[in-house]
Amino acid sequence: MSKGMQIAIGAAAIAALLVWYGAGQLGSGVGFQYFQDLDEFHASESQMLGRAARVHGYVANGSIERDLEGKRVRFSVQNAPPHKGGPIGQTLEVEFGSLETPDLFKDGAEVVVEGQLAVAGGRPVFQADNVMAKCPSKFQAQSPLAGEPSIEL
């Protein structure tokens, strides 16, 4: 087999893999979009029922409920970080089918939830398959103890 034929077969194989991957992504409903914020999700909520989605937001303060018997975690996601004191805006009720949440998952944590929208008890609930909590983007030193010098970074 000639060198040119080998290159052509290799290029065709790579193209076939890219088409297969693209078709799988489009078929999953998520596509190549990384995530939607809460406003974008609510704007298309009627079309999102049962479709895969990734939604970004912040865990609402006091909303985390752990159901030990059902092995689920329920919480609300809101647009704005609760610690900033701004308007909360729209919220999204989330149910995660596991008690194993990320270490950084807590009130006010920035999260991306993956799953699909369902109706439970007559109201929309986002059934999360995965919960990802964002790491803090900047180092924040602990406040200095009384009598110790503080270090400016």
Planar angle of CA 128, 132, 135, nearest 5 degrees: 160
- Distance from C-alpha of 123 to C-alpha of 109, rounded to nearest angstrom: 24
Tell me how far CA of residue 131 lies from CA of 21, 39, 141, 145, 149, in angstroms. 24, 19, 27, 35, 39
pLDDT band at 52 (very low <50, low <70, confident <90, very high): confident
Query: Which band of pLDDT confidence, cut at 50, 70 and 90, is reported for residue 77?
Result: very high
pLDDT of residue 87: 60
